[in-house]
Amino acid sequence: MKNAFHERSSERGSAGVKFAIFLAVVAILGHAGYNYVPVAYEAESLKTEMQTAVTQGLALSGKLSPVDNVKGRIEKAMISNAVPADATLNVTQTGNVIQARVYFIKPVPIIPFGIYTYKYVFDHTATPTGFLLKQ
């Protein structure tokens, strides 16, 4: 038996092009993840620290001002979590409840060379929960 072998020039050379496209897509996704993941992690860490500060501020006793204490703790957390300098921080006390709100927009370069920059919007309001609020 003889197999007929036909020249198919249109089917040659496409593996290299497909591999190059695949590597480009993987590089872009890697770059996006490398830039986005730390920003998202810092934002979640700030949310946790805000919640802790508000809850501990509610439990303060004595002559300390709970609003100033919570504001100081959150400002330290903002510095350690690389929050932009133009961020808005509002700490208010209504009755026996302290609320803290932080708002900022942080640019995250997703596609290299400035082709696409994602604007990460952080807007979180922390209020105390748990046994401290039960009457």
19: pLDDT strictly greater than 60? yes
Nearest-angstrom CA–CA distance, 65 and 92:
12
12 vs 115, more confident: 115
Domain coordinates of the chain in residue numbers? 15-133
pTM: 0.83
For range 59-67, the mean pLDDT: 80
Beta partners for 103? 88, 123
More confident call, 5 vs 111: 111
Across the chain, what does the average pLDDT equal?
89
Q: What are phi and psi of 21, to 5 degrees?
A: -65, -45
- Output the 3-class SS for 63-91: CCCHHHHHHHHHHHHHHHCCCCCCCEEEE
Band of residue 38 on the pLDDT scale cut at 50, 70, 90: very high
Confidence at 40, pLDDT banded by 50, 70, 90? very high
Q: Is the pLDDT of residue 1 over 60?
A: no
Amino acid occupying residue 103: Y
